[in-house]
Structure 1
Amino acid sequence: MEFCDECGSMMHTEGGEWVCKSCGATKPRDSARDAAMTTTEGQDTDSGPVDMSEVDDEEIGPTTKVVCPECGHDRARYEMKQIRAADESETRFFTCTECGKKWREDDH
């Protein structure tokens, strides 16, 4: 991955050059440097569901005070994940400690 020296945007390859689609800046590609870059091509990005059935409740993660929309209980486990663009806030995922209801909250 290459970033533009002019504006900081991610650059893309076009032939023998790196091209910034934001500001149009270009720079020549260096085959030795390109070979040293790590790529995600061919990598398995979905390892499937994780079996948490034998994990103790205390090991699952932190809890917070939030009201469950299903049963009204006031405690839930939470996890925060970056599922949208990097310049947007994280999404909060909750699981009620009483009934197991799962829900999420996004900043709007």
Structure 2
Amino acid sequence: MEFCPTCGNMLQYEMRIPARFFCRTCPYVCPLLPKVSIRRGVQLENKEPTPIAVGEKSVGPTTDAPCPKCSHGKAAFHQMQTRSADEPMTIFYKCLNHSCGHQWRED
């Protein structure tokens, strides 16, 4: 869509030779060239993905949630919408005890 630089209304397209855009409100007319010119944009570069977790180290937030398997008091968590939008989010936990690493969820 193109808009009139004078009054801001949407321009109408008219197929005639040469084709043109025109404004129904004011006398603005923009003739279209018969040739199309392609402008080259900026070249995109491949980027390395950013790691979310490095090794055993958890990047996410932690909370005081007891593990149901080993009763360790700290766990990392993240939330995700697994059901419809009017339902609460599901919380996924991972025990921060290195020998346990148990994962569980709360619906």
TM-score normalised according to structure 1 size:
0.46
Of Structure 1 and Structure 2, the greater helix share is in 1
TM-score normalised according to structure 2 size:
0.46
Highest Rg: 1 or 2? 2
